[in-house]
Every structure is written in C-alpha cells, then in structure tokens.
Amino acid sequence: MIRIKLVGASLSIISLVAIALTTYSLFAPLDVSIQIIKITNWLVVVALSIILGWIGVIMLRAEEPKSAEELREELRKEIEEMKKDIERAMKEQA
C-alpha cells in the first residue's frame, strides 16, 4: 500500500513540475517559429501531465487491499445471512 501511495505522489509531483517548466518556457524570448513549437509542446505536456496527475490522485485515493482472512470472514458472514434468509423464506412458505 505504501508503494502505491509513493508512486501516486511522485506521479503527481512530476506532473506539477512538468507543467511549471513548460509554462515558464512559454515566456522565454525566442523566434516566432520556435514559439509555435513551444506552444505545441506546452499543450502536449500539459495534457500528459494532467493525465499523469489524475492517475496519481487515483492511486493516492486507493484503499488498502484486504487480507485473505478478512475476505474469508466477510464470505462467512454473507453465507450465514443467506442461510438465515433462506430459512425465513421456507418458514413463511410453510
């Protein structure tokens, strides 16, 4: 779980740094032809950074996976509830 959180946080940080650097590069003085390339580059990097940041946020919000014992216990509880429901339904029909 910690690994997922670290990867998510690092992806979010990388995306923010990429947005900041490309935004700064827009204001650096260069020729007009280079400006077109810079704007295109900025749009691509921002789009990819937003996607990476979104993935990072999803990974940060991910829940810790349940252990096998917890899953078995949940299944046992659900099976017991189903048995009780079946018994109630059979009593109502009788």
Domain boundaries, the chain: 1-63, 67-94
pTM of the predicted structure, to 2 decimals: 0.42
User: Tokens 């109630």 sit at which residue?
Assistant: 88
- Tell me the angle at which helices 2-26 and 32-61 cross, rounded to the nearest 10 degrees: 160
Tokens of 49: 């950074």
Alpha-carbon separation of residue 50 from 21, 27, 91 (angstroms): 14, 21, 58
Half-sphere exposure of 90 (CA within 13 A, CB side): 6
pLDDT of residue 80: 95
| pLDDT digits (tens), the chain, 94 positions | 677 777 777 777 877 777 777 777 777 676 656 776 677 778 778 878 888 888 888 877 877 778 889 999 999 999 999 999 999 999 988 7
